[in-house]
Chain A
């Protein structure tokens, strides 16, 4: 099927999150670029992913890794040119790989010409493009997102002698979405990239677009109205393109972002991710099943995005205080690993580099409801560097080989945008694509097989989920079903072998076919179905009536 005709592609996608800067440097300046990324598309195609989500690559002072945009219509010079981007996009599409890019709607860099004009005088036509005030006391109910660095959501601008509103860093002034000109301009930006061929946007920080007195300025009806208008225009002018919401909210609060299937196509399921880590540490399925029980139904054309790690800290916003303390004590005993309300670590170090737990977590990622996202480098078990500030420790260069600069760049090591991971366990000499490709049972090759098996059924992407509740609470078991296709998933969250009896009577008469080895298991009868699983083992079965 031609790419453009598959309008529900995002429900079956396997997304790979990458940053141009971190992936591959083609010109030896120490910074990754689009030609470099283009050269590595074969690798991504071989891995089996079908969508790339790129972090911001626009001109920016890079004080927030590109989320502080200074020009929405161009490419940061370090990453190449607009032509380079187009070349990469075409190459990706030729491989049937779609590309999602970032759209930072809520704020710009304070270096953006719009802000420079806005602050220049009260009379400037762009004065009203940002949220200005003579006091710093408005909207007191609004929380501060970056507690470690910001004391207020208002910052004093000595140029215009007024306060401006910023929900993130003070160098990221919020755009004023009450101004129709701002809304129109941002749609023009989106049109610019859509016309070029990008397949969708991850819309950053969407709950914060509009401010109103007496509210916490999050999830307001006015914000939803703006987002619905963007969606309407998207559907009219660019059918088959996708909007993904970044809104770190509870599932019930996220539900309105799907509206009646006419706002966002997808949204991140933020509260699920920490509970997967919690479930494995507690050896108890309760945190996982509870949050999914609280997750509301969404329209059939919509989809959750699920992930284990990303470019930010492992956010602990959507957990209780008891859970946050538990997570911090379990996964970030060293306090330097903590940032804001989260843990700034990669997947492998979080899981003590335990291959069994890494596989189990990826197995759940690929089989729970939603479209999975793999963060670059996690497919080979890359480590992190907590000595780098902010979240830069999880944004180090991709480790391609054990050679010069890990094959990332031919530049002098000192010129790299960030130091390579070099420790004996996670360093590029030990963990790299080249050596893992050559090893049949490497994590990389295992990830490839996992993705391939997931792709053999649409039930994972689009099917329903029904939890089985075996008495053994260390076992997380569920059936994914789409039409007649039924997949039984059984996960052992414990570090010890477990026996479990599953009530499969409603599937009586089916045989179980294990999806990785394709071995046949006994037919389901009236009696409880007994399975034994090794430590952190998981099994996927296709249920088939013979």
Chain B
């Protein structure tokens, strides 16, 4: 029986027309008509400015937009058939689009981009989020240049963030990934990154692309594949990442995509992390990370309430996930007044590791495990906010560093409970 292709004939035809490229930029979209035009124009400016002689293409993998996003991408192509681009380009710069599904799925979008990169034999590829409203042409060279000219296989971004932006990243994803794999990767779950053709091909071939990763988490899987395959990884400072206000209801889906992916990656990558101790810096162009300190309104009371309510209401769930001592400590914290509220770093690391082990053992539904972590994360976020309320950028960085060291120190405990223990 003929093997089924996940690329449509129409998309394949477009790829044949594009032909071999040196640089490929993938843009996964879903209803991004408001921003996509300026995103594509900025990408074009980056290519024309920094890679004027290279063969390049923009590939849009769309998850069923109904607002005309793919048409806007295709219309923006720089060519001779419809002259009128404001940019002067030495050569044609095609931008093509394919709709991989009627609903968005990050993993399938990435898979589509990787397949296009492989078919076009791209030497260096970048993925750019359509929501990157701070995107500048410089980002393209910052991400792609190390891959294209310096033999890096994966280049991840670092940003200037608000000190309270990305708390899930600074308090869980970064410290845990760093402790597991021994590398100081600031943005293991990046929405813009660059990679070599060989890494892309290897990931495309080896990743199982099951339903779960098709939906979410493929970006972190990609990073972990690079770590596991001992590919050359670097970081590039891109500048300011805008702070995006998130509704509290967004937290669980975000945790599913990131923490869920991180936890589920631990099983297949066990041999890559079980013996690692400490952590090493990775080559970084520009500063590792910066923080801005503008005042930000945070509803601390609500965070504490959600933590306390969660600890109380989910006690039966926690009993199957957490150790007795951890649960007792959490219950004790839940009873504290707001001014004395404190969820210490060591307890937080221990909590996360116990969740990871429970996830591994599937003590209950894995999705419930992730959901149950959400209220506890809110408690940890409250502590982080209070600890850094008046701190300088350096204080924030030191606070995160201390937490990372705590995760590293506690790693033997993770190994202890991974296959046994409590």
Among the listed A284, A320, A467, A472, which residue makes an inter-chain contact with B91, where contact means beta carbons less than 8 Å apart? Answer: A284
Instruction: Report yes or no: A323 in contact with B17, Cβ–Cβ below 8 A.
Output: no
Among the listed A285, A326, A494, A501, which residue makes an inter-chain contact with B19, where contact means beta carbons less than 8 Å apart? Answer: A494
Q: Report A442-470 residues with CB < 8 Å from chain B CB.
A: 467, 469-470
B-chain residues with CB within 8 Å of residue A289 when the two chains form the complex: 80
Among the listed B20, B55, B79, B90, which residue makes an inter-chain contact with A326, where contact means beta carbons less than 8 Å apart? Answer: B90
Report Cα–Cα, A293/B91, bound state, in Å. 16
Q: A107 on the interface (CB 8 Å rule)?
A: no
Interface residues of A (CB under 8 A from B): 278, 282-287, 289-290, 293, 320, 322-323, 326, 467, 469-474, 494, 496, 498-501
Q: B368 on the interface (CB 8 Å rule)?
A: no
Instruction: Report yes or no: A471 in contact with B90, Cβ–Cβ below 8 A.
Output: no
B81's closest neighbor in chain A, by CB? A469
Instruction: Report yes or no: B53 in contact with A326, Cβ–Cβ below 8 A.
Output: yes
Report Cα–Cα, A284/B18, bound state, in Å. 11
B-chain residues with CB within 8 Å of residue A286 when the two chains form the complex: 79-80, 89-92
Instruction: Report yes or no: A471 in contact with B19, Cβ–Cβ below 8 A.
Output: no
Instruction: Report yes or no: A290 in contact with B80, Cβ–Cβ below 8 A.
Output: yes
Q: Report B316-357 residues with CB < 8 Å from chain A CB.
A: none
Instruction: Report yes or no: A474 in contact with B79, Cβ–Cβ below 8 A.
Output: no
Count class of interface residues, chain B? 10 to 19
Instruction: Report yes or no: A496 in contact with B20, Cβ–Cβ below 8 A.
Output: yes
Instruction: Report yes or no: A469 in contact with B80, Cβ–Cβ below 8 A.
Output: yes
15 A-B pairs whose Cβ atoms sit less than 8 Å apart in the complex: A285-B92, A286-B92, A289-B80, A293-B83, A322-B88, A323-B90, A326-B53, A326-B90, A467-B80, A469-B81, A471-B94, A472-B17, A472-B19, A473-B19, A501-B13
Interface residues of B (CB under 8 A from A): 13-14, 16-17, 19-20, 52-53, 55, 79-81, 83, 88-92, 94
A-chain residues with CB within 8 Å of residue B88 when the two chains form the complex: 320, 322
Among the listed A322, A473, A499, which residue makes an inter-chain contact with B90, where contact means beta carbons less than 8 Å apart? Answer: A322
Report Cα–Cα, A467/B14, bound state, in Å. 20
Report Cα–Cα, A509/B91, bound state, in Å. 35
B-chain residues with CB within 8 Å of residue A494 when the two chains form the complex: 19
Report Cα–Cα, A499/B13, bound state, in Å. 9
B19's closest neighbor in chain A, by CB? A474
Instruction: Report yes or no: B19 in contact with A498, Cβ–Cβ below 8 A.
Output: yes
Q: A284-B92, A287-B90, A293-B83 are in contact. List 18 more A-B contacts (CB 8 A).
A: A282-B53, A282-B90, A284-B91, A286-B89, A286-B91, A286-B92, A289-B80, A290-B83, A322-B90, A326-B53, A326-B90, A469-B79, A470-B17, A471-B14, A471-B94, A472-B19, A473-B94, A496-B19
Report Cα–Cα, A257/B311, bound state, in Å. 88
Given known contacts A289-B80, A293-B80, A293-B83, is B91 in contact with A282 (CB within 8 Å)? yes
A-chain residues with CB within 8 Å of residue B92 when the two chains form the complex: 284-286, 473
A-chain residues with CB within 8 Å of residue B19 when the two chains form the complex: 283, 472-474, 494, 496, 498
Report Cα–Cα, A286/B90, bound state, in Å. 8
Interface centre among A282, A323, A500 (most CB of B within 10 A): A282
Instruction: Report yes or no: A473 in contact with B16, Cβ–Cβ below 8 A.
Output: no
B23 CB to closest chain A CB, in angstroms?
14
Q: Chain A binding site: helix, strand, loop or mixed by DSSP?
A: mixed
Report Cα–Cα, A473/B20, bound state, in Å. 11
B-chain residues with CB within 8 Å of residue A498 when the two chains form the complex: 19
Tally of A-B residue pairs with Cβ under 8 A? 57
A-chain residues with CB within 8 Å of residue B20 when the two chains form the complex: 496
A-chain residues with CB within 8 Å of residue B79 when the two chains form the complex: 286, 469, 473
Report Cα–Cα, A286/B16, bound state, in Å. 18
Closest 6 CB pairs of A and B: A471-B17, A469-B81, A473-B92, A289-B80, A472-B17, A284-B91
A-chain residues with CB within 8 Å of residue B53 when the two chains form the complex: 282, 326
Report Cα–Cα, A484/B92, bound state, in Å. 33
Among the listed B13, B52, B80, B83, which residue makes an inter-chain contact with A473, where contact means beta carbons less than 8 Å apart? Answer: B80
A-chain residues with CB within 8 Å of residue B90 when the two chains form the complex: 278, 282, 286-287, 322-323, 326
A-chain residues with CB within 8 Å of residue B83 when the two chains form the complex: 290, 293
B-chain residues with CB within 8 Å of residue A472 when the two chains form the complex: 16-17, 19
A-chain residues with CB within 8 Å of residue B14 when the two chains form the complex: 471
A496's closest neighbor in chain B, by CB? B20
A-chain residues with CB within 8 Å of residue B16 when the two chains form the complex: 472, 499
Report Cα–Cα, A326/B52, bound state, in Å. 10
B-chain residues with CB within 8 Å of residue A474 when the two chains form the complex: 19
B-chain residues with CB within 8 Å of residue A501 when the two chains form the complex: 13
B52 CB to closest chain A CB, in angstroms?
6
B309 CB to closest chain A CB, in angstroms?
58
Report Cα–Cα, A284/B17, bound state, in Å. 11
Report Cα–Cα, A469/B13, bound state, in Å. 15
B-chain residues with CB within 8 Å of residue A496 when the two chains form the complex: 19-20
B9 CB to closest chain A CB, in angstroms?
12
A470's closest neighbor in chain B, by CB? B17
B402 CB to closest chain A CB, in angstroms?
51
Report Cα–Cα, A178/B52, bound state, in Å. 47
B72 CB to closest chain A CB, in angstroms?
18
A361 CB to closest chain B CB, in angstroms?
18
B144 CB to closest chain A CB, in angstroms?
19
Interface centre among B13, B16, B80 (most CB of A within 10 A): B80
B-chain residues with CB within 8 Å of residue A469 when the two chains form the complex: 79-81
B-chain residues with CB within 8 Å of residue A323 when the two chains form the complex: 90
B88 CB to closest chain A CB, in angstroms?
7
Report Cα–Cα, A216/B20, bound state, in Å. 45
Report Cα–Cα, A282/B19, bound state, in Å. 13
A426 CB to closest chain B CB, in angstroms?
28
B82's closest neighbor in chain A, by CB? A469
B98 CB to closest chain A CB, in angstroms?
14
Report Cα–Cα, A285/B80, bound state, in Å. 8
A504 CB to closest chain B CB, in angstroms?
16
A-chain residues with CB within 8 Å of residue B13 when the two chains form the complex: 471, 501
Report Cα–Cα, A531/B414, bound state, in Å. 61
Report Cα–Cα, A469/B80, bound state, in Å. 8
A295 CB to closest chain B CB, in angstroms?
13
A501's closest neighbor in chain B, by CB? B13
B55's closest neighbor in chain A, by CB? A283
Report Cα–Cα, A474/B55, bound state, in Å. 11
B96 CB to closest chain A CB, in angstroms?
9
A282's closest neighbor in chain B, by CB? B91
Report Cα–Cα, A500/B19, bound state, in Å. 11
A60 CB to closest chain B CB, in angstroms?
41
Report Cα–Cα, A323/B17, bound state, in Å. 24
A-chain residues with CB within 8 Å of residue B81 when the two chains form the complex: 469
Report Cα–Cα, A474/B83, bound state, in Å. 17
Interface centre among A286, A470, A499 (most CB of B within 10 A): A286
Report Cα–Cα, A24/B55, bound state, in Å. 46
B86 CB to closest chain A CB, in angstroms?
15
B16's closest neighbor in chain A, by CB? A499
B318 CB to closest chain A CB, in angstroms?
58
A492 CB to closest chain B CB, in angstroms?
11
B123 CB to closest chain A CB, in angstroms?
15
Interface centre among B14, B81, B91 (most CB of A within 10 A): B91
A292 CB to closest chain B CB, in angstroms?
9
A474's closest neighbor in chain B, by CB? B19
Report Cα–Cα, A282/B79, bound state, in Å. 13
Report Cα–Cα, A499/B88, bound state, in Å. 27
Report Cα–Cα, A278/B89, bound state, in Å. 13
Report Cα–Cα, A35/B81, bound state, in Å. 52
B78's closest neighbor in chain A, by CB? A286
A494's closest neighbor in chain B, by CB? B19
Report Cα–Cα, A257/B16, bound state, in Å. 43
Report Cα–Cα, A474/B120, bound state, in Å. 14
Report Cα–Cα, A229/B79, bound state, in Å. 43
A285's closest neighbor in chain B, by CB? B80
A498 CB to closest chain B CB, in angstroms?
7
Report Cα–Cα, A32/B94, bound state, in Å. 52
Report Cα–Cα, A211/B55, bound state, in Å. 45
